[in-house]
Amino acid sequence: MTTRQVVDQSLPKPNILRAEDNPVNHLLAQKLLQKLGQLVTAANNGREALQLWEQNQSRQFDIILMDLQMPEMDGLQASARLREQELATGAHIPIIAVTAHAIKGDRERCLAAGMDGYLTKPINPGELAATILAAFPAVLKLPADAVDALSEAPSDAELLARFDGDGEILKELAGIFLQECPRMLDEIREALRTRDPKLLKRAAHTRKGSVGNFAMSGQRETAQRLESLAKSGELFGAEDIFHALEQQVAPFNQILARHAAEPAHQPR
Ligand code: MN
């Protein structure tokens, strides 16, 4: 997927702060990001990023893309310090980690440092766009502990909590969801094909409710965006949002398939 395909030009664009020490990576990311953001500000290391963020409190950045390995101050340190400062105001700017290699445990370290999402280099334009769309403005004001929307991967505990800790109900509903999933997506496709805002509104609403049950906050946000657009009666950009939604489906369905296949619990 190209950046163009997932970016709805009618949506408001975020101010992006980008920290990266490699000039070549910087230039490439800059080109991609300029299509996505109304303003892209560059920092060469974590210390600079932190300073720029501090200076910009009045014209707040909307999102930070943070390289992990940088001289002076690395991405983890910079993020942790920024989160400390945010405690005073209760604000929460989405920080997306960008890393050269997905080392096992990297993602966990990023989340522990207060980062919200995770991208690997070389940056895939579609992934970048989807990540930024998911983060903006969806997670803008969420508290740190509520944010796992970007990775679209709730833990088993989070999933279970949605069903009152009852594995049987989760298993049953995961199975039903997977059965219904293709039909739900087909309905949206049909609405887009026939340019039918009413049908799109209903189909997106159904999708939103269904994924919401399973703590899929990223998908829920995307479906919500589609529903809002359909409500306006103007379908411009709807395909792009649907493409973003389609990208979010597979990883999630894999998780649900695992739960649906759990062996039956012993009767108590
Ligand atoms: Mn680096």
> Where is pLDDT greater, at 47 or 108?
47
Q: What is the DSSP string of 13-76?
A: PPEEEEE-S-HHHHHHHHHHHHHH-SEEEEESSHHHHHHHHHHTSTT--SEEEEESS-SSS-HH
Q: At what angle do helices 125-135 and 217-232 cross, to 10 degrees?
A: 80
**40 DSSP β-pair partners:** 16
SS3 of residue 98 by DSSP: strand
* Model confidence band, residue 122 (pLDDT cutoffs 50, 70, 90): confident
- Please tell me the distance between residue 109's alpha carbon and the centre of ligand 1 in angstroms: 16
Sheet of 95-99, strands arranged across: 39-43, 15-19, 63-67, 95-99, 117-120
Q: What is the whole-number distance in angstroms between the Cα of residue 69 and the centre of ligand 1?
A: 4
* Average pLDDT score over residue span 43-51: 95
DSSP 169-188: HHHHHHHHHHHHHHHHHHHH
Distance 51 CA to ligand 1 centre (A): 18
Report CA(152)–ligand 1 centroid distance (Å).
25
Asked if residue 262 has pLDDT above 50, the reply is yes
Domains along the sequence of the chain with CATH: 9-141 (3.40.50.2300), 151-261 (1.20.120.160)
Q: Are 147 and 96 in contact (CB under 8 A)?
A: no
Q: For residue 225, report the distance from its CA to the centre of ligand 1, in Å.
A: 34
Question: How far is the centre of ligand 1, averaged over its atoms, from the C-alpha of 21 (Å)?
Answer: 5
Single-letter residue type at 136: F
Distance 45 CA to ligand 1 centre (A): 8
Give the pLDDT of residue 149.
Answer: 39
Q: What is residue 2's predicted lDDT score, i.e. its pLDDT?
A: 42
Each residue of 60-95: pLDDT tens digit? 788 899 999 899 999 999 999 999 988 887 788 889
> Pick from 100, 99, 101, 63: which is nearest to 82 by CA?
63
Mean pLDDT over all residues of the chain? 80
pTM assigned to the model: 0.50
Please answer whether residues 164 and 228 qualify as being in contact, where contact means their C-beta atoms are separated by less than 8 angstroms: no
Q: Is the pLDDT of residue 242 over 80?
A: yes
For residue 43, report the phi and psi dihedrals to the nearest 5 degrees: -125, 145
* Integer CA distances (angstroms), 79 to 37, 109, 111, 116, 122, in order: 21, 11, 10, 10, 21
Q: For residue 96, how far is its CA from the centre of ligand 1 (angstroms)?
A: 14
C-alpha of residue 201 to centroid of ligand 1, in Å: 43
Is 117 a residue whose pLDDT tops 60?
yes
Buried b (16+ CB within 10 A) or exposed e, 118-131: bbebebebbebbbb
Kindly indicate the confidence band of residue 256, based on its pLDDT and cuts at 50, 70 and 90: confident
pLDDT of residue 153: 65
Residue in the block written with tokens 């945010």: 86
